[in-house]
Structure 1
């Protein structure tokens, strides 16, 4: 069984540092016998959150008519997801920011379909605030119950030159290590599923919006949760 990783590229700039990093990842994944599929957010129609204000009480996915439902389906189908985005204005580039807001609040929060998928993060930047952007995406992955593999240093690819390039040797080493670990974990999960005919980590706790009963409290007394 092959491993399919979906890269979500949040860069507005075609041919920039983030595109180069995703292409590098694709070559390594292919060499390992896997497949990298890429969503470039700049090529899709993704509206920002609207002022409807009912995200906490809505029982169904977002009603905004754009490309988000199709992108969510691609995420559901992948074995692993690689988030790649640049730093802009000392923060996360706005395409990725809009995407994770719409994906999370509008779709993923209902059943957490990314539970137990293997996740990884690449952040490209010049020099500043890349760790903050990286931490933000990591927190989003944790919220969605994804599996993060320990692979050494975070993948922060820095380039102080005016032209795009993968010049950060230490960052590239971290990227390669992360990709190998992602593929190893995906293959481990796939082997276990073939052996036992079931997931290695049963998704028994999918949604924090449905609170667990306190010890000694009957389930019937639980209230409805509205946590995003």
Structure 2
């Protein structure tokens, strides 16, 4: 499985970086992890001109490059940061572009990819941000995977064992679902044992 993490933080050494390190440590070397830090990309705000209903978005920025990286992933972990009880502005711009305008004329290329969410913030508002990203995941027709409780990391804590457990269980479920989907796909591609093609002749 190849996992891509979308990181909303602008702090290279903050809690989000610790979460990315946790993901890599938990998954080990067998799972490829690609972390995309949105701070390194130019993401313009959606202009809501609705022209993307039937043609590609005309805004020239790095969103096309970001979507190409996401398209190569088997699973995506959204890692937004909470500002003012909502997601930070850069992540909000990303959600608007990728959820609303950019994907629509492209027939939702992230459809059926596995997705999970973890939220970083001081306190309060975590579940509101979590719910917003859930709606974006569903809009892009992805498959949402969770562990029963949202992984919400509180930045005022030196360690957040509850959030770490929720995230690790979610990562395990991502791997499990990826294996199941692959086994189903392999079974569908494999011809049944002893099956022979049937030919009908007029007689």
Same fold (TM over 0.5): yes
**Structure 1: any 5+ residue segments left out of the alignment?**
199-228
Deviation string 1:116-143 (CA, Å, 9 cap, x unpaired) is 1110001011111111011100111111
Contact kept? 2:52, 2:101, Cα under 8 Å: no
Aligned: 1:186 with 2:178: yes
Query: Which one of the candidate residues 110, 121, 140 is aligned to 1:114?
Result: 110
Superposition deviation, residue 197 in structure 1: 2.5
Superposition deviation, residue 10 in structure 1: 0.8
Superposition deviation, residue 104 in structure 1: 1.8
Aligned: 1:78 with 2:73: yes
**Structure 2: any 5+ residue segments left out of the alignment?**
191-203
Aligned: 1:91 with 2:86: yes
Equivalent residue, structure 1, for 2:136: 140
Structure whose residues are more often helix by fraction: 2
Contact kept? 2:116, 2:146, Cα under 8 Å: no
Q: Which runs of 4+ in 1 moved over 4 A?
A: none
The count of residues paired between Structure 1 and Structure 2 equals 189
TM-score normalised by the chain length of structure 2: 0.87
RMSD of aligned C-alpha atoms?
A: 1.6
Cα 1:177–1:48 change in 2 (3 A) is: same
Equivalent residue, structure 2, for 1:195: 187
Aligned: 1:55 with 2:50: yes
Query: Which one of the candidate residues 37, 40, 51 is aligned to 1:40?
Result: 37
Superposition deviation, residue 27 in structure 1: 2.0
Aligned: 1:155 with 2:151: yes
